[in-house]
Amino acid sequence: MVDLGILPGGTASISGAVNDAGTIAGFANIPGGFYNAFMYTTAGGMVNIGTLGGSNSNANAINNSGTIAGYAYTTGDASVAAFSYTTSGGMVNIGSLGGIYPGSGNADGLSGIPAGGTFADAYGINSSGTIVGNSYNASGNEHAFMYTTAGGMVDLGTLGGSSSYNFGAINSSGTIAGTAFTAGGDQHSYIYTTAGGMVDVGTLPGGAASEAVAINSAGIVVGDGLTSGGQDHAFVYIGGVMVDLNTLLDSSGAGWTLEQAYGINDSNQIVGWGYNSSGQMDAYLLTLDVVPEPSTCAMLVGGLGLLGLAVRRRSS
């Protein structure tokens, strides 16, 4: 256990991302009631990586090259912009989709956003340096974006509705997963590629809404969605089919109801939360043990384990 410490004059810090080299990114408070993004290494400790001229910043993601992505206030706190940071180039404003934040309340969980300013927040970055996040466009709607140094910031669009979102779900191939509204006002999961654009991957059978939150290198997506009965269930999307994870559990998951799936790695391990056989809400770890031809979609999910209270029990 290592205490990463605080920034000079501050009292608290929160780390939110770490790469394979152990470089950590997050944010910490500083005097004056503000907070700044930091980078932490064992050699250099916690370093304030600054802002874009304004008072606050936050680091949300870091890739294995050490590039950090997040958001920062601009000079005079006139706006909030997404940023890319490297030790060699410092913090760079990667812009926004040009729209004005429509209120002074809460955007993407941030309070006190400048009224009348533009807004963008970067949530994820892959190994190639492609950054994803959310921003307001010229119509005043929040849309998911993709940013590359070659192409700049690109509006990913919607599924016919007003808004779309992405909270960091991008894989090494550049495939993006997120949520968007349809023309009918329903919330559906999507997959986005530069070649194919935004594709609606639907909902659970009979369900009205779904939300994709993570994707692995194989393009397997996890999230949660409403069932035909209106319950919130975790899902896995593979081979063009969205499947309720609860229907795939083996005996290790007897009695569980999986409500949310938040992450998936390249070993097909999925984490999230649900209710165990005693009715207690717990974190879980499970593994997709079998992934046959997508047309059969006869997957099995095994090795359901409790992650809560720092205890992990794994079945054979």
Q: Looking at the domain assignment, is residue 201 inside a domain?
A: yes
Are 116 and 236 in a shared domain?
no
Q: For position 315, what pLDDT does the model report?
A: 26
Closest CA to 85 of 42, 118, 36: 36
Q: Looking at the domain assignment, is residue 59 inside a domain?
A: yes
Are 126 and 190 in a shared domain?
no
Rounded distance, CA 220 to CA 213, Å?
11
Are 8 and 150 in a shared domain?
yes
Mean pLDDT by 10 residues, the chain (316 residues): 95 95 96 96 97 96 97 93 97 94 62 76 97 95 96 97 96 97 97 97 96 96 97 95 95 94 94 95 88 47 46 25
Q: For position 306, what pLDDT does the model report?
A: 44
Are 174 and 133 in a shared domain?
no
* pTM of full prediction above 0.85: yes
Kind of pairing between the strands at 53-62 and 152-155: unpaired
Domain that holds residue 315: 169-316
93, 50 in Cβ contact below 8 A? no
Q: For position 312, what pLDDT does the model report?
A: 27
Cβ-based neighbour number of residue 121 at 10 Å: 26
Q: For position 308, what pLDDT does the model report?
A: 36
Are 307 and 194 in a shared domain?
yes
Q: For position 116, what pLDDT does the model report?
A: 80
Q: For the chain, what is the radius of gyration of the CA atoms? A: 20
Q: For position 108, what pLDDT does the model report?
A: 62
Q: Looking at the domain assignment, is residue 194 inside a domain?
A: yes
Q: For position 117, what pLDDT does the model report?
A: 85
Are 92 and 184 in a shared domain?
no
Write out the two tokens for 50.
Answer: 């600054």
Are 270 and 174 in a shared domain?
yes
Count the domains in the chain: 2
Are 175 and 151 in a shared domain?
no
Rounded distance, CA 251 to CA 124, Å?
35
38, 28 in Cβ contact below 8 A? yes
Are 11 and 75 in a shared domain?
yes
**Last residue within a domain, chosen from 94, 124, 155:** 155
Task: Residue count of the chain, please give it.
Answer: 316
Q: Looking at the domain assignment, is residue 82 inside a domain?
A: yes
Q: For position 100, what pLDDT does the model report?
A: 87
Amino acid sitting at position 189: S
Q: Looking at the domain assignment, is residue 296 inside a domain?
A: yes
Are 149 and 46 in a shared domain?
yes
